[in-house]
Amino acid sequence: MADLELIHGLLTPADSKILLLVLDGLGGLPIEPGGLTELEAASTPNMDRLAAEGIVGLHQPVGPGIAPGSGPGHIGLFGYDAIRYQIGRGVLEALGIGFDLQADDLAARGNFCTIDSEGNITDRRAGRISTERCRELCGELQQIRVPGVQIFVEPVREHRFLLVLRGDGLVEGVADTDPGRVGSPPLPVTAERAEAEATAEVVRRFVDEAQRRLAGREPANMVLLRGFARLPDWPRFPETFGLRSIAVAQYPMYRGVAKLVGMDTEEVGPSRDDLFAALQRVWPGYDFAFVHVKETDRAGEDGDFDRKVSVIEEIDGYIPAIVDLQPDVILVTGDHSTPAVLRSHSWHPVPFLLWSRTCRSDEMEHFGERWCLRGGGGMRRSEDLMPLVLANAGRLAKFGA
Ligand code: ZN
């Protein structure tokens, strides 16, 4: 499913409003087999009330057995097939630091690395230099001039940086220069197709000059580049689904992914009150608001089961304020699972809770994986949630006569 054209063709006008609350990495696992997951262990009376009136279920991002990044996880929730609509690595890196990527930009992920006197790589991460050192070196590389092209070199973290080339005619199709192993030199800059040759030449000149400027600056005496990508030209979310849409998120990466599909974005302060105050502020002007909570995923990645539980409980405390906004449809879910016991994103299907006035009761009175497994929402691909949400919002007409 997730046929964007089909859904678009069925749109019917309505003034209903939709709220998508994403608790990043929401899905979990018990500490001991047979025990409770983070969501099951959390006391969530407000979400449970919505679950009792609505339906719960599980959604599968990307595909069975696949642990997705947050980029594809969100792309799926926004109704797009995450395999067809892939975000280039360079673009993802730019989104992560809030770099304002333009339509003509070509972005790549960069690593400072160490090469020996023969030119062979001895450390692909340059001993994980400090972010401060990375910033100094980026300042140095930012001085590089290539005619006709504007160059941005932005520090990310430790040895990682973002390279953005801005100019006419830059295209995708430049191969990675990172061989992915030590003991051999960085790969020469090559074009993967003939049309990318001029772009490859620009990159070549940058890399040659970077190597000259970094000589003697061990451990960071060379650069590796990968994931050359431009902003994708995708169907825009607001037009495709007929929704004035906004993302309310504290981290640039999530505002960035929303911006990729054409949503407006709202920058918010660091506290949880800031996040929900921002939602209240923007709510009157939009049909669809996506609110992103990062800390569930962070606690999962830190292996902190108890903290993940308490973040879920704290967010539950904001549900009454959300209900007061009188959304017609509320979808609470995650973009993937991040079980604390695994300390990483995982392939497990993600719990969701869908509330509207037109839900059938599924007799599930709690929001948690074991209820979701038996709930009326069933097991769906992530991208199939958007059509369900639209139908519940009264925004899809009958198909066929
Ligand atoms: Zn995530």
CA of 99 to the centre of ligand 1 (A): 19
CA of 335 to the centre of ligand 1 (A): 5
CA of 135 to the centre of ligand 1 (A): 27
Q: What integer pLDDT is reported at residue 361 of this predicted model?
A: 86
**Nearest-angstrom CA–CA distance, 338 and 350:** 9
CA of 205 to the centre of ligand 1 (A): 36
Q: Tokens standing for 19?
A: 């709220």
CA of 123 to the centre of ligand 1 (A): 29
CA of 149 to the centre of ligand 1 (A): 34
Give the angle 173-179-182 at the CA atoms, nearest 5°: 165
**Nearest-angstrom CA–CA distance, 220 and 205:** 19
pLDDT digits (tens, 9 = 90+) for 266-323: 989 999 999 999 999 999 999 999 999 999 999 999 999 999 999 999 999 999 999 9
CA of 303 to the centre of ligand 1 (A): 15
pLDDT digits (tens, 9 = 90+) for 99-135: 999 998 999 999 999 999 999 999 999 999 999 999 9
Query: Which whole-number Å values give the CA distances from 49 to 126, 279, 306, 323, in the listed order?
Result: 52, 21, 23, 11
CA of 249 to the centre of ligand 1 (A): 12
CA of 167 to the centre of ligand 1 (A): 32
Mean pLDDT of 184-202: 97
CA of 258 to the centre of ligand 1 (A): 13
Q: Is the pTM of this model over 0.85?
A: yes
- Residue at token pair 């992920």: 109
Q: What integer pLDDT is reported at residue 157 of this predicted model?
A: 87
Query: How does residue 141 score in pLDDT terms, banded at 50, 70 and 90?
Result: very high
Say if CB 21 and CB 331 are below 8 A apart: yes
CA of 317 to the centre of ligand 1 (A): 21
Q: Tokens standing for 59?
A: 């959604």
Q: Tokens standing for 362?
A: 């599924």
CA of 203 to the centre of ligand 1 (A): 32
pLDDT digits (tens, 9 = 90+) for 51-103: 999 999 999 999 999 999 999 999 999 999 999 999 988 998 898 898 999 99
Q: What integer pLDDT is reported at residue 260 of this predicted model?
A: 93
Mean of the per-residue pLDDT values for the chain? 96
CA of 338 to the centre of ligand 1 (A): 8
CA of 337 to the centre of ligand 1 (A): 8
CB within 5 A of ion ligand 1: which residues?
24, 70, 297, 335
Residues 6+ apart with CB under 8 A from 202: 146, 149, 165, 167, 170
CA of 69 to the centre of ligand 1 (A): 6
